[in-house]
Chains A and B, each alone.
Chain A
Amino acid sequence: MSASHPPEPPEVEYRRPPWVEPPADVVPGIVPVELILARTPQRAIGLTGIRAYPTGFGCTLHMRLREVIPGEQSTFGAFNMLGGDVDPAGEFADYYLRFGVGFADGRKATNLDHRRDLDEVPAPDPPTLWLVRWEGYDRLAWEVDVWVWGLPPPGPLAFVCEWPARGIPETRAEIDAGLVLAAAARAVPIWPDHAAP
């Protein structure tokens, strides 16, 4: 190495794009939402725990089987884990659980949106929906944490799910988006002296 080379700048903490995960430097405000989105004699889908940040919100999907169904134990048969590449008109589309959020101004984000390159430039327009954690506890329970980038405008905030192959028709539940906005305003910076880069 030549002495004339400038020193390498220090490597800084890598941050994934804001539409992929919540900000690392904020404690979220919580909305104690507990919804049963869908329920059939054998299957149910719940949604709980909105965790609100200045840039968006997260929540948890609870998928439950009433009893073991062979072949469906761990991943509930099908869920579009990576958030894309499902053709809603395609041959297998009915086998995927479809989940999304709808804002009062008509914008929406779903797990059927096409998968995006993490380094996509320019960033997609909010809202976007990304799955950040999934875990199965036994053959009857499966949970998925969702991150929605972009806060909703005032008005109704809708959660919609549909699973045609499992007998779950399109089902919609709404909450007041003001609850999410108020919780986002309660979010606390972890390092309040931190200057944004």
Chain B
Amino acid sequence: MVPGVVPVALLVARTDTHAVLVDGLLAYPTGFDFDLEVRYRPGRPRHHRPHPREWHELRLEVRFADGRSADNDPRRWPRLSGGQLPDPPLLYQSVSGPDGGHVWLWGLPPPGPLVFACQWPALQIPPSQAELDAGLVLQAAARAASLWPEKTPP
């Protein structure tokens, strides 16, 4: 499929030296993906760069209006067997690094506020959050285009 575009970029956290953005929100019928971007304020003295063992400490949680949530703590991943699927939402961060990462969130949110919350102690980024109207994600998911519509699902 070619995804639908959520026409918003979110500033989730900002300190005097760093910012965290949710950008590149693209929606499919089964979920949405986005870039989790850590920005370093230009022109300031060079800051502490997180050590590789700290990359995974950039905590991200996505909260739905119905109370369900998912985060990027792999210790909370469900233990599944065989072809069993986890209950959505499930957050999978495919890349982690000093500049953030790329995230796939399996499961579409219900209508209402969709909250992105983050914190990163290594960079003194306190718990911060921003939200958008989940309807924007649902509308984008509805616009996702099948490339081979006649394809028979497996």
Chain A contributes a number of interface residues (CB within 8 A of B) equal to: 41
Chain B contributes a number of interface residues (CB within 8 A of A) equal to: 38
Chain B 20-50 per-residue mask, 1 if CB under 8 angstroms from chain A, else 0: 0101111000000001000111111111000
In the complex, what distance in Å separates the CA atom of A34 from the CA atom of B141?
12
Contact pick for A24, options B11, B24, B39, B140, CB 8 Å: B39
Chain A residues with CB under 8 Å of B145's CB are: 34, 36, 46
Contact pick for B147, options A27, A28, A64, CB 8 Å: A64
A30 adjacent to B8 (CB under 8 Å)? yes
Chain B residues with CB under 8 Å of A27's CB are: 9-11, 21, 23
A191 adjacent to B41 (CB under 8 Å)? yes
In the complex, what distance in Å separates the CA atom of A191 from the CA atom of B2?
34
B5 adjacent to A30 (CB under 8 Å)? yes
Determine the residue in chain A with the shortest Cβ distance to B8. A30
> Given that A25-B41, A49-B24 are known contacts, is A12 also in contact with B8, CB under 8 Å in the complex?
no
Using a CB–CB distance below 8 Å, which chain A residues touch chain B? 10-15, 23-25, 27-36, 39, 41, 44, 46, 48-49, 51, 60, 62, 64, 66, 133, 135, 137, 145, 188, 190-191, 194-197
Which 10 A-B pairs have CB atoms at the shortest separation, nearest pair first?
A46-B2, A32-B5, A10-B45, A11-B46, A44-B147, A32-B7, A49-B5, A30-B7, A197-B43, A24-B39
7 CB-based A-B contacts, threshold 8 Å: A13-B45, A24-B41, A31-B7, A36-B147, A39-B148, A51-B23, A190-B39
